[in-house]
Amino acid sequence: MSSVTNHDERPNPDNLDDPGLSETKTERVSYLRAGHTLRSWLFTTDHKRVALLYMMSITFFFFIGGIAAAFVRADLLTPSADLMTNEGYNRAFTLHGVIMVWFFLIPSIPNTFGNFLIPLMIGARDLAFPRLNLLSWYIFILGGIFTLFVLILGGVDTGWTFYTPLSSMYANGNVVLVATAVFIVGFSSILTGLNFIVTIHKLRAPGMTWGRLPLFIWSHYATSVILVLATPVLSVTLALIAAERLFGLGIFNPELGGDPLLFQHLFWFYSHPAVYIMVLPALGVVSELVAAAARKPVFGYKFVAGSSIAIAVIGFLVWGHHMFVSGQSIYASAVFSFLSLVVAVPSGIKIYNWTATLYKGDISLDPPFLFAMGFIGLFVVGGLTGLAVAMLAIDVHLHDTYFVVAHFHYIMVGGTVSAYFGALHFWWPKIVGRLYSVVWGRLSAMFIFIGFNFTFFPQFILGYEGMPRRYHVYPEQFQVLHDMSSIGASILGIAYLMPAVYLYYSLRYGQPAGNNPWNVTGLEWTIPSPPPKHNFDEIPTVDGPPYNYPVRKEAKHA
Amino acid sequence: MKTGVLFSVWVALSALLVATVVASFFLTGIPSLAAGLSIASIKAGLVFWYFMDLRGEKGLVRLSAVVAILWLFIFFLLVAPDYLFRTV
Amino acid sequence: MRELPKVQTPYVDRAQQHEAGIMGMHIFLASEIMLFGGIFMAIAVIRQAHSQEVVEYSKELHYYLGAINTMLLLTSSFLVAAAVHMSRHARRKAVLALLVSAAFLGLLFLGLKGFEYWSEFQEGRLPVAGGMEKINSAPGRLFLNLYLVSTSLHAVHLTIGVIALLVVAGRIYTRRSALPQRSVVVETTAAYWHLVDIIWIFLYPLLYLAR
């Protein structure tokens, strides 16, 4: 540490023999050392640096959202309202939802790992529009500042869904400001999606045909399509909410001839596909981790790739399943219920193909693999309970209960956040060029899995027994399960902090990773870790399928 | 593309504008709406195809230009059963 | 940004850079279509729920002013399309003249739209404070609200379009964008302008000609 604070001993970036903080020559010519000033980071157009800017920002918002969740869980320890007022509780869970959805989950994997890896995986020097990429980060930060501003002003109490007429007429909080924040951050999503689509179409290296793309790329392509086509609908909906509040527009107000359900149609036309924005990149990550762990070609590559596209398309057709008890036409509900069952098929294809890929693979229990296994288990539970609430009759019983809360946390937290940590542990040596402690990695994967189930499994039972969501005063019979959930949340919280410690430690004391520490395939592993500024000295030519691992013949037993 | 073609398209668009205004004098209700929307679609098609020069672009660009229209169609298609059959 | 002899960073050659630019613009336009899609959905729902009031209040709008404005936009789109054609043939002066006249027509549109708002305000048919004494029914007011929201959102886009046309004209005038090598900046701006035109093509019959 002392060498950092002493300015006379700062490394000279132009002198490659000056060791400075770096241990290897690779590090000295990497993107991390290409410019040391704050300016060189804040005005960078290097996709790898923008990815790190995003990583730092969303980690910050993850903490803020986590603190809000901690308040919620602490208040739920007892059946009475002892920590927060009703209003305060509403504001805490709204803040948790808004920040976690738009400032962590949506940008989480695409804007960090997608940004970092898409050009590396397809053999390009950067994204198609590098300056647009940086602009999208600035827009994200602007939206974030608005959100923090709202936090200081006292928050908002509508829930992350902004349902009308609560949000448009009755809510006391800063609805317009929060709507503005989400409106702004939406443009960041659109620009990211646009950039990814054009990059994947136009910048693939020679020989990198669609059938040779890593599955991570396929899932990010599907995600980008949703980002571009769904996000604008949210933007206009939020603008209408703001106009409704400020000018009494009336479009969502039945007294003025409007229709509150129109809001729900518009909102869920974005927000259901948004769930797939959150989980599709995670599915892509897990495809990579599973193939790397098994060291086998992915079973049914075309089906896994195609199922990403299928999820993106069918995911647009199911939004009405959020509205079964809202008073929408029963015929519409029936159609949406059927389509919601259909969307489970491509998700199922992925699970089966991952399992088949792992069958007789050379599996080593590395941290990325453990996170991937955690993902698969939690995603299956979340997916199957999703089928339950997609059934019209069952949903009448379970709608707006903790069952739904547990269901979507299994997908978004158990699924996406596990995959995010899996990606972090898999590509960390590539991003920073250092190895971390594998033992601690395994431990944190296990603690996250245990803590997560401890937190959210009791919520399935709570919901099934009738505990509604968004209430902090509840009958005493629910206290045991609520307390289990809150204790689990503390375990989960600590488990989430563990990687911060050993990954930070690895930055300083980790061994240099080498090009390919996991001994896996993929263009990103053919270049030095951390990569040089322009990724590839020569644009590579691809001449084989992805995941081209040697197939091991089964040993004959005498 | 010749500017003469562009000019003919402009003439066609102007004629269609007159057609849509005239139609509004004679038609009411669903026929009026249908006439207005079909004429608008033809005009939009002309602008897309000739002015935006999609006829000179590759399939990929054409696809990215029309995909949003397809998606909007899906949106309207799936919202329709709710508004047409809602009983409350 | 200077016009460099070589292509910019991630690209291998100029054709690739050109195609990426065109495709990026079309994807952006797709997101614009979805943005207005939400408004069109709201118009459709109101039309279905209150068709009588919608027709009644639509008849009071100045359809001929809307028609003139449609004509202005169609003509400007023609000029912009011609500018694209000229830019591919490096007809620098023609491109400049066409872009500037298209921008001028855009400004005329905005001026006429402003006059229209003003006269509606005078007549008491604009749903803003002090301008709605003639609006008697809630659904009628809702329809006019949507009219105001959608036309003003369109006007915002048109304003951006006018600025974009003038910026591109400026770049060509100062030769910072050389033709025909950088015709992509004309093409992408033109595509945006055409889309703003197309949105108006749909708004016009839905708002002014509901009968």
Torsion of CA A95, A99, A102, A104, to 10 degrees: -160
Total tally of structural domains belonging to chain C? 1
Q: What are phi and psi of A532, to 5 degrees?
A: -70, 170
Q: How does pLDDT run across A160-210, given as a tens digit for each residue?
A: 999 988 888 888 888 999 999 999 999 999 999 999 999 999 999 999 999
What residues of chain C lie within 8 A of the CB of A119, using their CB?
10
In 3D, which of A249, A109, A112 has the Cα closest to residue A176?
Answer: A249
Shortest CA gap B35–chain A (Å): 26
Are C33 and B53 within 8 A, CB to CB?
no
Can you tell me the distance from the alpha carbon of A178 to that of A172, in angstroms, rounded to the nearest whole number?
Answer: 12
Can you tell me the distance from the alpha carbon of A453 to that of A447, in angstroms, rounded to the nearest whole number?
Answer: 10
Higher pLDDT, A24 or A514: A514
Mean of pLDDT over chain A: 91
Q: What is the pLDDT of residue C115?
A: 96
Question: 3-class DSSP state for residue A468?
Answer: strand
Any B CB within 8 A of A317 CB: yes
Mean of the pLDDT values across residues B17-41? 93
For residue A489, pLDDT beyond 50: yes
Shortest CA gap C209–chain A (Å): 21
Q: In the 8-state DSSP scheme, what is residue A253?
A: -
Q: What is the pLDDT of residue C6?
A: 61
Q: What is the pLDDT of residue A4?
A: 40
Are C141 and A256 within 8 A, CB to CB?
yes
Q: How does pLDDT run across C123-148, given as a tens digit for each residue?
A: 888 888 887 888 888 899 999 999 99
Mean of the pLDDT values across residues B28-49? 93
Any A CB within 8 A of B3 CB: no
Any B CB within 8 A of A516 CB: no
Q: Where are the domains of chain B?
A: 1-56, 57-88
Nearest to A259 among C10, C35, C49 (CB): C49
For residue A272, pLDDT beyond 90: yes
Q: How does pLDDT run across B6-24, given as a tens digit for each residue?
A: 999 999 999 999 999 999 9
Any B CB within 8 A of C18 CB: no
Any B CB within 8 A of C202 CB: yes
Residue A252 burial by Cβ neighbours in a 10 Å radius (0-12, 13-18, 19+):
buried
Can you tell me the distance from the alpha carbon of C129 to that of B19, in angstroms, rounded to the nearest whole number?
Answer: 36
Q: Which residues in chain C land under pLDDT 70?
A: 1-6
Any A CB within 8 A of B33 CB: no
Q: What is the pLDDT of residue B1?
A: 57
Q: What is the pLDDT of residue A19?
A: 54
* Residue of A134, A195, A198 to mutate, testing the C interface (most C Cβ within 10 Å of its Cβ): A198
For residue A342, pLDDT beyond 80: yes
Q: What is the pLDDT of residue A304?
A: 95
Range of the domain at C68: 14-208
A337 contacts: CB under 8 Å, gap ≥ 6? A321, A324, A390, A391, A392
Q: What is the pLDDT of residue A242?
A: 93
For residue A23, pLDDT beyond 90: no
Mean of the pLDDT values across residues A415-426? 96
Give the domains, in start order, of chain A with CATH numbers: 33-525 (1.20.210.10)
Share of chain A above pLDDT 90, in %: 81
Torsion of CA A18, A20, A22, A27, to 10 degrees: -50
What residues of chain B lie within 8 A of the CB of A331, using their CB?
81, 85
* Residue of B26, B51, B66, B71 to mutate, testing the C interface (most C Cβ within 10 Å of its Cβ): B51
Q: What is the pLDDT of residue A457?
A: 97
What residues of chain B lie within 8 A of the CB of A210, using their CB?
none
Q: What is the pLDDT of residue B86?
A: 85
Neighbours of chain C (3+ CB pairs under 8 A): A, B
Are B52 and C51 within 8 A, CB to CB?
no
CB A84 within 8 A of CB A98: no
Q: What is the pLDDT of residue A430?
A: 95
Q: What is the pLDDT of residue C133?
A: 82
Can you tell me the distance from the alpha carbon of A10 to that of A5, in angstroms, rounded to the nearest whole number?
Answer: 9
Q: What is the pLDDT of residue B73?
A: 93
Can you tell me the distance from the alpha carbon of A12 to that of A507, in angstroms, rounded to the nearest whole number?
Answer: 19
Question: 3-class DSSP state for residue A467?
Answer: coil
Q: What is the pLDDT of residue A14?
A: 60
Neighbours of chain A (3+ CB pairs under 8 A): B, C
Are A266 and C145 within 8 A, CB to CB?
no
Crossing angle of the two packed helices A418-432 and A260-294, in degrees rounded to 10: 50
Nearest to C209 among B9, B24, B51 (CB): B24
For residue A522, pLDDT beyond 50: yes
- Taking the CB of residue C60, how many other CB atoms lie within 10 A of it? 14
Can you tell me the distance from the alpha carbon of A268 to that of A237, in angstroms, rounded to the nearest whole number?
Answer: 10
For residue B55, pLDDT beyond 70: yes
Lowest mean pLDDT among A12-26, A220-234, A390-404, C48-62: A12-26
Q: What is the pLDDT of residue C74?
A: 96
Mean of the pLDDT values across residues A445-458? 96
Model ipTM over 0.90: yes
Residue A550 burial by Cβ neighbours in a 10 Å radius (0-12, 13-18, 19+):
exposed
Q: What is the pLDDT of residue A77?
A: 94
Q: In the 8-state DSSP scheme, what is residue A530?
A: S
Any A CB within 8 A of B71 CB: yes
Q: Which amino acid is at A289?
A: L
Q: Is residue C4 part of a domain?
A: no
For residue A74, pLDDT beyond 70: yes
Q: Is residue C9 part of a domain?
A: no
Q: Which two tokens stand for residue C151?
A: 């036309």
